[in-house]
């Protein structure tokens, strides 16, 4: 690595607004990137790209995401509170440009599915639309909301109520091979990346060193 | 892709506990993976791997993470509440096995820095230790806490008070090139991946289609 550059809190405050957004958005490293599908009670669908989806817990099965209520996310928030449900759909290399385009500020009466050319897919357990072109997708029921006082964003937690996964991406120990499913990752605000597995490591215990895990 | 397998909420509840943990931890796709460094008021350091670090906002500069208080994360929580500060350190290919090993359940009097062979590095603005071998790292001041009622985990939000980045990973528009800094990503509970940038895309607007952004 080259010389290390130091930025103080004051340096960050003084950055031009868009540079600061790009800089701070880079700090959390690689992020999940997914499409969140919702519908309102009038049957109007919405699709929005999120890079803040996180694991909250496995039992019960909970996934969280941060919503910025004044951003293009606002229709997602309105719809999921109206219907109590939403879908999360992984993004693969074939659809990432269309997925990125859902972040444009379309008026509420335009569905991003139509605008960007992705296909809504409906299943019986949940009203919300899935993305047909997505390989791994799951449906959620709204479960808990936390309003973050410090900047007005909202943590939405949902309970996983169904999951769709390609059969050949399931391993015997429960892991879904998201790389095999061609799921991609993102960094910053606009950079998309495919991945190469380095290895899976064995469960860490104090008196052993981790070794590479061989899948059954 | 192959045949699609469907899992209902009931299928998930019925999974064997470790398989369910692996399965649900795979759903959020690729995740950030970082080392969180803390120290207590007695000078005892702690280092813990986290895969739940997320961007909360750029102005003020805020980063969140989910802590499981009954897990190996508990010393991180105790220390950061005691000193009001902590560091987040990106993980690269050279140190990921050592980083993974910090998830072993060491007793409180053992520092994971010593146990796994990483080097604590101290700077004047913050008491907490950084990881010398990490290429991108930043210091935080504890800012806000949300206890998630649904499963007893905790969202900790910190304000970024300083950042260290290799000079050659900074781009003119503020983005930090985390791939160039060799930062890696993770999936599930134990899988580590390097990345290949597909492209950066231009800011999305309703009446244009995104194109590949050329860095200045």
CA atoms within 13 A on the CB side of A33: 29
Q: Closest CB to B144: pick one of A150, A161, A188.
A: A150
Q: Could you tell me if residue B58 is inside a domain?
A: yes
Q: What is the band of B216 on the pLDDT scale with cuts at 50, 70, 90?
A: low
Q: Closest CB to B194: pick one of A34, A188, A196.
A: A196
pLDDT digits (tens, 9 = 90+) for B49-90: 999 999 999 999 999 999 998 888 899 999 999 999 999 999
Q: What is the pLDDT, as a whole number, of residue B191?
A: 97
Q: Could you tell me if residue B69 is inside a domain?
A: yes
Which domain does A87 fall in, by range? 29-193
Q: How many beta-carbon pairs below 8 A join chains A and B? A: 386
Find the closest chain B residue to A11 by CA distance: B162
Contact indicator for A157, A64 with CB cutoff of 8 Å: yes
CA distance A161 to chain B (A): 4
The DSSP bridge pattern shows strands A191-200 and B191-200 to be antiparallel
Nearest to A73 by CA among B99, B57, B113: B57
Contact assignment for B5 to A204 by CB distance below 8 Å: no
Q: What is the pLDDT, as a whole number, of residue A216?
A: 57
Q: What is the pLDDT, as a whole number, of residue B70?
A: 83
Provide the CATH number for the domain around residue A128: 2.30.110.10
ipTM above 0.90, yes or no: yes
Q: Closest CB to A166: pick one of B4, B110, B194.
A: B4
Does residue A73 have a pLDDT over 70?
yes
CA atoms within 13 A on the CB side of A57: 21
| Total domain count, chain B | 1
Q: Could you tell me if residue A16 is inside a domain?
A: no
pLDDT digits (tens, 9 = 90+) for B25-54: 999 999 999 999 999 999 999 999 999 999
Q: Could you tell me if residue A98 is inside a domain?
A: yes
Q: What is the band of B15 on the pLDDT scale with cuts at 50, 70, 90?
A: very high
Q: What percent of chain A has pLDDT above 70? A: 99
Q: Could you tell me if residue A24 is inside a domain?
A: no
pLDDT digits (tens, 9 = 90+) for B150-178: 999 999 999 999 999 999 999 999 999 99
Q: What is the DSSP letter of A145?
A: E
Comparison of pLDDT for A186 and B73, the residue scoring more = A186
How many CB atoms are located within 10 Å of the residue A81 CB? 14
Contact indicator for A201, B190 with CB cutoff of 8 Å: yes
Q: Could you tell me if residue B106 is inside a domain?
A: yes
Does residue B215 have a pLDDT over 80?
no
Find the closest chain A residue to B106 by CA distance: A206
Q: What is the pLDDT, as a whole number, of residue B1?
A: 61
Nearest to A37 by CA among A49, A28, A25: A49
Q: Could you tell me if residue A13 is inside a domain?
A: no
Separation between Cα atoms, residue B117 and residue B65, nearest integer Å: 24
Q: Could you tell me if residue B74 is inside a domain?
A: yes
């Amino acid at each position: 690595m080259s010389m290390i550059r130091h930025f103080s809190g004051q340096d960050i405050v003084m950055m031009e607004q868009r540079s600061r957004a790009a800089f701070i958005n880079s700090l959390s490293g690689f992020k999940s990137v997914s499409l969140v599908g919702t519908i309102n009670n009038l049957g109007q669908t919405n699709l929005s790209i999120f890079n803040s989806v996180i694991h909250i817990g496995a039992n019960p099965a909970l996934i969280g995401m941060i919503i910025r209520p004044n951003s293009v996310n606002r229709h997602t928030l309105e719809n999921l509170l109206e219907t109590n449900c939403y879908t999360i759909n992984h993004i693969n290399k074939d659809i990432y440009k269309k997925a990125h385009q859902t972040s444009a500020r379309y008026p509420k009466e335009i569905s991003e599915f139509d605008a960007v050319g992705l296909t809504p897919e409906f299943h019986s357990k949940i009203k919300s639309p899935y993305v047909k072109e997505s390989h791994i997708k799951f449906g959620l029921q709204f479960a808990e909301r936390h309003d973050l006082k410090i900047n007005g964003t909202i943590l939405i937690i949902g309970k996983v109520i169904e999951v769709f996964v390609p059969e050949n991406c399931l391993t015997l120990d429960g892991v879904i091979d998201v790389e095999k499913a061609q799921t991609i990752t993102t960094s910053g605000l606009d950079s998309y990346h495919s991945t190469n597995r380095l290895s899976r490591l064995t469960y860490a215990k104090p008196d052993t060193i981790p070794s590479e895990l061989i899948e059954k």
